[in-house]
Amino acid sequence: MRVIIVGGGIAGLATAWSLQKSGVQVTLLEQGPLPNPQASSVDDHRLIRYPYGPRLGFTRMVGDAYAAWDEMWADLGERHYVETGTLVLGGPADAYNKATVATLAHAGHTVDWLTEAELARDYPLLEEAAIATGGFRMNSGGALRCGRIVQALARHLAFLGADLRPHSPVVDVDPVLAQVTLSDSTRLTADAVVVTAGAWATKLLPALASTLTPSRQVIVYVAPPPETVATWQRMPMLLNIGENNAGFYLVPPIPGTGLKIGDHRFSRTGDPDAPRTATIAEARAVLEQCRGQIRNLDAYRILEPKACFYTVEPHESFVFHQQDKLLAVSACSGHGFKFGSIIGKTAASLVQGQRDLAEVKHWATGV
């Protein structure tokens, strides 16, 4: 069997990895370099964690993703994951956190609710207002080093004989013929085509525009006060997320990276082909979300604002769209990377006729 994959982010590379393990001949086309700095799958890290609000399906899927990542580490011979643990701000009175903990319990996970005294003792970098509201922690959760993962997967696939073609933009896909046309008019045909084009998916497949929306997101790297660096390096990831995705997430400075803060809300605006420059004003707005949560916030210096793109489905579901010999996959809504390993395995199983599309679509809703 021969499969063409359009898009060299984590979804495309993980699909190629899973297909290659099954003996499928893979050609992967990426519009830019591989890794592509414009893709959603780059930067230093992406978080993986079990707390997922009331979404039981996603909560359970995290365990499947961890297992698939372990399978990938074994194949790569290298592990690109750093466990940090997870600290969720907001106590039992917070309705969203209460629903999250109930869902975690249903999935077999326990949490450690923290009193005000325990938070003050264990996390002295938190502001008094954050300590007063309470929170819970889990030992699990950490950072996937996404840039390194994409590089390692590309090297591994090339070593195994996959046909990887960077700088090969696709301008047309024929689902019936399983044929793609490149910008230089070259045509390639296979037994199936998988489109994992991220924020560019709707440009290549306009029919998906009613389902998927590109979303420009701003993150900011900051320099904490020097006297706090050692403490930050021992901190877990911080989640302060409520209904409608309001809030922020914070990635502690794991080895070789800085302290990163991201706005958890979706912009649902922007063109992935537009310049990616993020402004200092945008960075300040992201940092300001930590006001009242992080002690001495004004002493934190902005180092680098960045803009990346998610692809948002209205209910934050993953998208698996099949038409004739085409499978379009969107591991979207900002949480795609953590599930990239299992999304790739799922896409590969669909292409090979090993799973039912209706079952996969239900699974992809995370309910």
What is the full DSSP assignment across 319-333?
Answer: EEEEETTEEEEE--T
What confidence category does residue 211 fall into, taking pLDDT thresholds of 50, 70 and 90? very high
pLDDT at 245: 63
More confident residue, 164 or 265: 164
299 plus 170 within the same structural domain: no
The burial of 116, by beta-carbon neighbours within 10 Å (0-12 exposed, 13-18 middle, 19 or more buried), is given as middle
pLDDT at 203: 94
94 plus 22 within the same structural domain: no
Q: What's the CA gap between 93 and 81, in Å, rounded?
A: 33
Three-state DSSP state, 189: strand
pLDDT at 241: 87
pLDDT over threshold 80, residue 40: no
Q: What is the dihedral of CA 61, 66, 67, 70, to 10 degrees?
A: 160
Tokens representing 98?
């209460």
CB 192 within 8 A of CB 327: yes
277 plus 319 within the same structural domain: no
221 plus 339 within the same structural domain: no
Q: Could you give the number of structural domains in the chain?
A: 2
Tokens representing 45?
């890290």
CB atoms within 10 A of CB 347: 29
pLDDT at 39: 81
pLDDT at 334: 66
pLDDT at 145: 95
Q: Indicate whether 60 belongs to any domain.
A: no
CB atoms within 10 A of CB 76: 16
Q: What's the CA gap between 190 and 1, in Å, rounded?
A: 8
- Percentage of the chain with pLDDT > 90? 86
240 plus 350 within the same structural domain: no
pLDDT at 352: 97
Place of tokens 């290549």: 204
Q: Indicate whether 65 belongs to any domain.
A: no
pLDDT in tens, 292-328: 999 999 999 999 999 988 899 988 899 999 999 999 9
Single out the residue of 103, 106, 101 nearest to residue 91, CA to CA. 101
pLDDT in tens, 50-107: 999 999 999 999 999 999 999 999 999 999 999 999 999 998 888 899 999 999 999 9
103 plus 229 within the same structural domain: yes
Q: Indicate whether 57 belongs to any domain.
A: no
More confident residue, 336 or 166: 166
The CA-CA-CA angle for residues 201, 333, 358, to 5°, reads 75
238 plus 274 within the same structural domain: yes
114 plus 240 within the same structural domain: yes
Single out the residue of 61, 152, 136 nearest to residue 98, CA to CA. 136
pLDDT over threshold 90, residue 44: no
Q: Indicate whether 53 belongs to any domain.
A: no
253 plus 305 within the same structural domain: yes
155 plus 122 within the same structural domain: no
Q: Give CA 193 to chain center in angstroms.
A: 23
Q: Indicate whether 73 belongs to any domain.
A: no
103 plus 131 within the same structural domain: yes
Neighbour-count burial for 269-296, b at 16+ CB within 10 Å, e otherwise: ebebeeeeebeeebbeebbebbeebbbe
pLDDT over threshold 80, residue 152: yes
CATH number of the structural domain spanning residue 196: 3.50.50.60
pLDDT at 86: 98
What confidence category does residue 41 fall into, taking pLDDT thresholds of 50, 70 and 90? low
Which residue segment(s) compose the domain that 14 sits in?
Answer: 2-47+146-209+315-363
Q: Indicate whether 326 belongs to any domain.
A: yes
pLDDT at 38: 85
Cα→Cα distances 329→73, 106, 247, 364, Å: 23, 29, 28, 11
Q: Indicate whether 68 belongs to any domain.
A: no
- Percentage of the chain with pLDDT > 70? 98
202 plus 219 within the same structural domain: no
